[in-house]
Each structure stands twice: as structure tokens, then as C-alpha cells.
Chains A and B, each alone.
Chain A
Amino acid sequence: MLKLAWRNLTNEPTRMAISVTGIALALVLILVIAGIFAGSEEFAVAYIKNEPAPIWLMQSGVANMHMSSSYIAPELIIEAEQIEGIKDITGVLYTGGNLESGEDSILGYIIGVNPQAEIGGPWKLVEGRQNPQRGEIVIDAELAKRLGVELGDEVNLFNTAHKIIGLSRGNFGIGSSLAFINKQALSEWMAVPPDASSFALVRPDVGIDVDALAARMQSELPDLNVMQQAEFAASDIDLIRQMGVDIIRAMNLIAYIVGLLVIGLTIYTATLERSREYGMLKALGANNSRLAVVVLSQALISAALGTLLGAGLAYGVADLITRISPDMLILIDPEYVLNQIPILTLVTGIAALLPASRIANLDPMIAFKA
């Protein structure tokens, strides 16, 4: 019966191609959308992950960098610096702003960094220098390309011209581009004291137990929230996922329905066209469950081929999009691909129900019709 299922498919290559391609495209939709969100998450926490600070301080009650506002008074930084085991603490200011050049405008996150600080700025500089003075800015090379500017050109931020003194890499993503300016200049725009910070990056002394230090800091600094680097990044990823989960679910549902309809309709029409053959098999003695196996096998073979093609296509599409638009990092997790298999199997089973029921109700006397 499996041979019959396979031959029924391969004898009609056009129908098989439609079925397999339909399932593949549905899977591409699922994987690429999930990949875009995963890529966005990676971009969104790139700053937290790449700065060499195992411990981060922020205002009490704040646990995210995105969609949040944090204020750390200067005296709290001084108090934190007194705790034993700390090498240094670097405060940065953080806010949103529009980077403009001519008619172009791109929304980004602005980090105010102290020019003397060793950390807190761009972690991968490809051209120029970092540590911006007043009126200077470091932006991502891709962002500069989008704005049509180069090193030495000016971009407008907070209605003030900023000269581009450095081009970085890895700071440009959808809705999560970073630009670095002078901290004191940003403090004036934000109307906070120059020594105030939004977040503070803590580097412990060599050999210090980070877990113990973080716990000690939290107990001694009740007005601040102390988070370790991985915990802080995970918290931001959770937030972003919460924002995107409904969209992913809705798109996945649409994709599954598309897949279900494609498999269901192609197998159903194929079954209709072969009604007489199935009727003949019933007449010869095949029972309904045996014939349902044929239909289900056809659907499963189509789904398996569609899954293989779809997974391959999804990786190809992700690579192509990332090449064309480097700000769109699409991360397709192989585990996520594997997770789709039981869902697609279920969808395929449902799709096979209609043609299987059609066969179950088929009158074997159809075989006697001339």
C-alpha cells in the first residue's frame, strides 16, 4: 500500500510539486518569522552581551534596558564603588533619539559614554576612534550607509549637529540601533546631573566570585537593582518575546492553515480523481483502514518532502535576506525546526481526514460502472 501511495504521488509530478511546495512555503513562513524575531532578540541584547561587565546596576524596579527608563543618582554610584571586590564601575546614560541626515531619519538608542571610560562604548570599531567628545558621535557603519554619511560627516541628533568620529559594527538592528555620544552632553539634554547614570557597568577584581559579589551588592544597595550580565540579557529577551509572541503565534497559525489546506486539497482532489480505483480496491477486499493508510501515507510523504525543502529554503532565504539587509539578522534554530515536525505531522493527519472519509463512504459498486 505504501508503494501505491508513493506511485500515486510520483505519477502526478505537477500535483506533487504543488503539494510539496505549498508545505515548504508554509514552513519557510514559520521559520523565517521566528528567525527574524530571534535575530531581533540577538541584536537587542548585543550591547548587554558584548560589554565586558559581569554585573549591571539599574534603578530599583527596573529589570530591562528596552522599553524602560532607569535613573541612578551619582551618590549611589559612589556608594557602590566602596564595596569590596570591585575593579571599577562605568555609568552610561541611555535614551531614545532620531538620527537625521537630510531627509533620512532613523530611530535609535543613544548611549552617553564618558570619553575616559574603558568600557560602555562600541565594542567593535571598524573606522575612526571611539570616546566621543561633545558634538561627536560614533554610529554603526550600516547605519551610516543608510543615512548616506561617512566618517567625518555630520548627523543631526536632538536638533544638534554631531560629527561622526567612528564607525562601529554590530550596533545596527531593526528598531535597536545604537549610537554613542558624549555622556555629559547627553546629561544636559536629559536634564540630569553629569555624573548621573541610567545603567552602571561593574567589573569585579580578578578572582572575585561574581555571584557572591552581586548578592552582596544587592544587599548593600537596596535602592538599586543588581543583575548579572546573562540574567539582564535574558530579561530583555523575555520582554521582546512577550511583545512578539502573539505575532509569531498568529503567523504560525496562518502558515499551518495554509499547509493544511494545501495538503488537504491536493490529496482530496487526487483521491476524487482516483475514486474508481479506490472503489475497485474496496470491491476486491481492501478495508477502509487499509485505504486510509494510502491516503495518509501520501499526505505524510508530501509533508516530509515539504518539510525538508522548506527547512532548506528557510536557511537559504535567511542567508539571502541577511546579505541584502545586514540589519536583519535571521536566526533559525535547528531545534525550532525539529519542533515543527510533530505539529506538521498533526496538521497532515487532519488534512488526510477529509479524503480518508471520502474513501470510507465510497461505494465499491463504482467499480462495476463501465
Chain B
Amino acid sequence: MSAILEMESVSKTYGKGHAAVQAVDQASMKIEPGEIVLIMGPSGSGKTTLLSMAGLLLKPTQGRLLINGEVINGKSQRQMADLRLRTLGFIFQAYNLLSALNARENVEIVLNMAGNGGKAASTYAAELLDKLGLGSRKHHLPADLSGGEKQRVAIARALANDPQLILADEPTGNLDSKTSEEVMELFCHGMGREQGRSMIIVTHNPAFERIADRVLWLEDGHLTNGNGRTNH
């Protein structure tokens, strides 16, 4: 089985000439099915840039990016958007729920975007929320949900289109320690790792190390194995 995501000597440079900033330099990594990979590093080290390239939101200046063995570099914006929709799931630090839609509709909208509409989509979105313990909160607007509840809605949304890879950017960054534990538990059991779903988690939270298969360290744009730490 091929890797879900491969980065081969990927670099990203912002600006030109003397003003050029090398955000990521010759980074390589391979994400296997079912693997949880943690990317850690100090602020400004290039973590979000690396995650954005892995999430097909940013094109590398150099290097190759492959999804399921297919080179992505030459794809159009529309093709990349379609790949994101069907292959990737995103979880953001600030949840980024649509404020005008309730919890169920926030999940349902990504199903609609992928061409799954009607009552089936609505029922499936509700089932996902039920599984994540939000059965009684699915008709609430984001403004009426707690931080932990919002993040669980965001997780349900990330899972809705059954992606192969989930990219999470500081998923517990806005949560208290108790809620962080609950969310972390979801990453470990409940997001389909057992079924081969992979995850890349960018975080400052060292507690995630215990659920990660591998920890990568990013500093000044250079990606290295994180002190050889490995957890299963």
C-alpha cells in the first residue's frame, strides 16, 4: 500500500531577492495509512506553512508532493480543491465553524459540497455528531456551544467526507486541559485511525506525544525526526 502523503525535498520561499524568506527548507516526510504524525517546533518555525502545503493550500516553491502516489504539483486550483474536499479533512485551532449554521448544518455543508445532499446527508451528519457526544447539541448555533463542543463539531465536519488524511492545526490550542484530554482521546480512538485514517497534528501540546506514532521537529524550516521519540 502506498503512502497517503509524500513530501520530497519540499521548500517554500516567500518573497524574492533580498526580501526572500525560506519558510520550509528541503522537508521530506511520508505519511503511511493509519499513522499519527506530530509536527512540533517553536513559533515561526514554518509549521503552518508545512501543514498548508500538506493540505494542498499552498504550492511548494521546490520539491514534489504526492497524494496516494500521484504527483500534485501541476494540478489546477480547482483540482486541488476537489482533492482537499474528498481526501483531506481539516481541524483548525479556532474551530472555524460557520456562525449562521447550526452544528448539524456545519457538518452537512461539506457533504453537500461533495455532492451528497438531501435527507441522507442530514441524517449522516446527525449520526456523526451523536457518535461524538453532541446528540443533544446538534441544533445549536456555534455561539451557543462551548469550546470543546465546537471542536467536536469541527472534528465531525473533518470526518464527514471520510477523508484518508486529517490535518489538525493546534486542535487543543483554545481548550482547557480537561477538554484537551477529551479531544485527544478522540484523535486516538474515534477518528478512524484503526481503519487506516492518517493524521498530521501540528501542536505545541506535548501531551499529544503519547498518541503519536512519530514526532517530527521543525525549526527554521528544517524538518527532522523529533529526538527519535516514537510512540504507538
Q: Is the CB–CB distance between B169 and A4 below 8 Å?
A: no
Q: How distant is B22 from chain A, measured CB to nearest CB, in Å?
A: 18
- Contact check, A365 vs B82: say whether CB atoms are below 8 A apart: no
Judged by a CB distance under 8 angstroms, whether B57 is at the interface is yes
Tell me what chain A mostly uses at the interface: helix, strand, loop, or mixed.
helix
Cα-based distance from A280 to B114 in the complex (angstroms): 15
| B1 sits at the interface (CB 8 A) | no
A1 CA to B84 CA, complexed, in Å: 18
Q: Which of A339-370 contact B (CB under 8 A)?
A: 364-365, 367-370
- Which B residues from 10 to 60 make CB contacts under 8 A with A? 48, 51-52, 55, 57-58
Instruction: Report if B124 contacts A (CB, 8 A).
Output: no
Taking a contact as CB atoms under 8 Å apart, the answer to whether B58 and A365 are in contact is yes
With contacts A3-B101, A4-B100, A7-B100 taken as known, whether A280 is within 8 angstroms of B92 at the C-beta atoms is yes
A293 to chain B, nearest CB (A): 11
Binds B, one of A51-59, A76-84, A101-109, A281-289: A281-289
Contacts of B81 in A (CB 8 A): 282, 285-287
The stretch that binds A, out of B66-74, B105-113, B190-198, B219-227, is B105-113
- Chain A residue contacts of B131, Cβ below 8 A: none
Interface string of A252-284 (1 = CB under 8 A from B): 000000000000000000000010110011111
B94 within 8 A of A: yes
B90 close to A (CB within 8 Å):
yes
Please, which residue of chain A has its CB at the minimum distance from the CB of B49? A365
Bound complex: CA of A29 vs CA of B93, how far in Å?
49
Shortest Cβ gap from B215 to chain A (Å): 21
On whether A285 and B86 interact (CB within 8 A), knowing A4-B98, A11-B100, A368-B48, the answer reads yes
A133 at interface by CB-CB < 8 Å: no
Q: Which residues does chain B contribute within 8 Å of A7, judged by CB atoms?
A: 100-101, 105
Contact among A1, A10, A367 for B96, CB-based, below 8 A: A367
Interface residues of A in 81-113 (CB under 8 A from B): none
Q: A285-B85, A364-B57 are in contact. Are A11 and B99 (CB under 8 A)?
A: yes
Name the residue of chain A whose CB is nearest to the CB of B92.
A367
Q: Is the pair B98, A277 in contact by a Cβ cutoff of 8 Å?
A: yes
Asked if B135 CB lies within 8 Å of chain A CBs, one says no
CA distance A276 to B95 in the complex (A): 11
Chain A 280-311 near chain B by CB (<8 Å), digits 1 or 0: 11111111001000000000000000000000
Contact of B94 among A4, A285, A369 (CB under 8 A): A369
In this assembly, does A8 line the interface, its C-beta being within 8 Å of a C-beta of chain B? yes
**Using a Cβ–Cβ cut-off of 8 Å, how many residues does chain B contribute to the interface with A?**
35
Q: Which residues of B are found within 8 Å of A367, using beta-carbon distances?
A: 90, 92, 96
- Asked if B52 and A285 sit within 8 Å, CB to CB, the answer is no
**In the complex, A121 Cα to B207 Cα: how many Å?**
100
Task: Write the chain A residue with the least CB distance to B51.
Answer: A368
CA distance A12 to B86 in the complex (A): 32
Most buried by A among B90, B100, B173: B100
Given the contacts A284-B85, A285-B81, A370 and B93 also touching, CB distance less than 8 Å: yes
Tell me, rounded to whole Å, the shortest Cβ–Cβ distance linking A131 to chain B: 73
Q: Are B170 and A370 in contact (CB under 8 A)?
A: yes
Q: Which residue of A8, A274, A285, A368 contacts B92 across the interface (Cβ within 8 Å)?
A: A368
For A184-214 the 0/1 string (1 means CB < 8 A from B) is 0000000000000000000000000000000
Contacts of A364 in B (CB 8 A): 57
Decide yes or no: A365 and B52 within 8 Å by CB, A277-B99, A283-B84, A370-B170 being known contacts. yes
A365 and B57 contact, CB distance less than 8 A: yes
Interface residues as binary, B104-133 with A (CB distance below 8 Å gives 1, 0 otherwise) = 010001101110000000000000000000
Distance between B205 CB and nearest chain A CB, rounded to angstroms: 14
On A, residues with C-beta under 8 Å from B are: 1, 3-4, 7-8, 10-11, 274, 276-277, 280-287, 290, 364-365, 367-370
Residues of B within 8 A of A (CB): 48, 51-52, 55, 57-58, 77-78, 81-86, 88, 90, 92-94, 96, 98-101, 105, 109-110, 112-114, 157, 169-170, 173-174
CB-based closest 9 A-B pairs:
A285-B85, A7-B100, A280-B96, A285-B84, A11-B100, A370-B93, A287-B81, A8-B100, A285-B81
Other than the given A4-B98, A368-B93, 18 more pairs (CB < 8 A) read: A1-B109, A1-B112, A3-B105, A3-B109, A7-B100, A280-B92, A280-B96, A280-B98, A281-B98, A281-B109, A284-B113, A286-B81, A290-B113, A365-B48, A367-B90, A367-B96, A368-B51, A370-B94
